Amino acid sequence: MTNWQQLVQAVEPLQDLELDTELVRGLERLGHQVGHRARERAAPPVHFYTPTFKSYETSEIKSCGKNAWPAVSVTGSECKLQCDHCKAAILEPMIPARTPDDLWRVVNELIDDGANGLLLTGGSNHRNEVEYAPYYETIRRIKDSHPEFRIAAHAALMDRDAAFAMADAGVDVAMMDVIGAQETITNVYHLRRSVDDFEATLENLVRTSMRVVPHIVIGLHYGRMLGEWRALEIIQRHLPDAVVLVVVMPFYAPEKKPFVTPDSSDVGRFFQSARQALPDTSLLLGCARPPGESRMEIDTYAVMAGLDGIAHPADGAVELAARLGRRVRVTPACCSIVVGDEVMAVQNASDGLELDVDTIVREEARRRAGSRGIGIPVVSAPAPGTEIPV
Ligand code: SF4
């Protein structure tokens, strides 16, 4: 029987990767356990959000400039925290809405422009709170006027009243980063709050009617693993709707406090732990992760660990998933749609086209040969027992 290390060798773009053999063996064992459990229920597909699976490009994707899920910041580019990995740079490209009137105007323009929803965020105050309270009346007005328009908000830290106020305003999805190491909170975030404050926020959010999608930023402690496992334990205690994993992208780290690129095997081991800890929770790998070979290794481990969704997969990841016997769905998506779909992930589980392994292998080979493919209509899943070509 072909083992997973050999299956990777059959995927051209992944052939030269130096994977951690022990980790691959461990993921294979986990895969067989998960596969066994999945056969007892309906096996969930792995969802790929990709702008690069050319045959499935749509006109909507080609015009990625049109933003289906724009990000709006209630503080513009200002943030009091100035965390070491970000320095508020994440806010720079966002649409500013510094007053409730601005938000109302911006949202109406976005709706006229075809947006499905927005990601609402803002810089933090010194307590890692985004001061949304003045906006809640406007958010309520937006939701009453446009009930189909979705609002996903980055919650930061919140007490119980603030969480319920956000839900009452009509926010559909609350996101937050769960940090599990005090050293990271103190040193990277320059914040006088505790790990317990992050846990309390998650607990408050899951008690509301909002969908809750926490994120774990892998390598947040200057590129090293520190609080990730504790963050996972926290999430296990307050089961949310889905969890997004991202790998730190420290483009803005100051020279005096550099970040290393997280070790791919450590990231893979964390995927393994996350899958084991949250067997029935949708686990998604978000857009942010280091480029190049790291990304290829990380995505290979993500597929092997059985994550439910991968945004912008590295070359070869879709084919690998099919060769490992996973059901594969491909949704053409540029980053803003991915972010929106991530947070709505559990709602849109049937989106995308389900592809069989022969189609994927054929299309990938064509693409690598430089052809754009011909655009294939919906293809059904492989019949049970279909031989996987190696
Ligand atoms: S609080 Fe958020 S926006 Fe502000 S610097 Fe930190 S990560 Fe960036």
> How many residues in the chain?
390
Ligand 1 atom nearest to CA at 128: 1
Residue type for 376, please? I
Q: Is residue 357 within 8 Å of residue 322, measured between CB atoms?
A: yes
Q: Is the CB of 273 under 6 A from ligand 1?
A: no
Which of 72, 79, 188 gets mutated to test ligand 1 (max ligand atoms within 8 A of its CB)? Answer: 79
Q: Is the CB of 83 within 6 Å of ligand 1?
A: yes
Does 56 or 94 have the greater pLDDT score? 94
Instruction: Indicate if ligand 1 lies below 6 Å from the C-beta of 14.
Output: no
As a whole number, mean pLDDT of residues 152-161 equals 95
Tens digit of pLDDT for each residue in 91-145? Answer: 999 999 999 999 999 999 999 988 888 889 999 999 999 999 999 999 999 999 9
Angle, alpha carbons 365-247-69 (nearest 5°): 80
* Residue bearing the bigger pLDDT, 338 or 299: 299
Alpha helices in the chain (DSSP H): 4-9, 21-40, 59-62, 100-112, 136-145, 160-169, 182-183, 195-206, 228-237, 264-277, 292-305, 317-323, 335-343, 357-368
For ligand 1, say whether the CB of 81 is within 6 Å of any of its atoms: yes
For the chain, give the percent of residues with pLDDT over 90. 60
CB of 123 closer than 6 angstroms to any ligand 1 atom: yes
Residue with tokens 């009453």: 144
Asked if 97 and 78 touch (Cβ cutoff 8 Å), the reply is: no
As beta bridge partners, residue 300 has none
**298: nearest Cα among 17, 6, 44, 16:** 17
CATH topology classification for 4-368: TIM Barrel (3.20.20)
Ligand 1 contacts CB of residue 90 (under 6 A): yes
Percent of the chain with pLDDT over 70: 81
Distance 66 CA to ligand 1 centre (A): 26
Residue spans of the domains in the chain: they are: 4-368
What are the pLDDT digits (tens) for 264-295? 999 999 999 999 999 999 899 988 888 889 99
CB–CB of 109/118 below 8 Å? no
Looking at residue 239, what DSSP letter applies? -
Out of 198-202, 246-250, 343-347, least confident range: 343-347
| CB 70 within 8 Å of CB 110 | yes
Ligand 1 centroid, distance to 88 Cα (angstroms) = 5
The predicted model scores a pTM of 0.88
Say if residue 24's pLDDT is above 70.
yes
- 47-56, 235-244, 246-255: range with lowest mean pLDDT: 47-56
Evaluate whether 258 touches 13 at the Cβ level (below 8 Å). no
State if residue 124 touches ligand 1 by the CB under 6 angstroms criterion.
Answer: yes
Instruction: Give me ligand 1 centre to Cα 191, in Å.
Output: 11
In this prediction, residue 48 has a pLDDT band, given cuts at 50, 70 and 90, of: confident
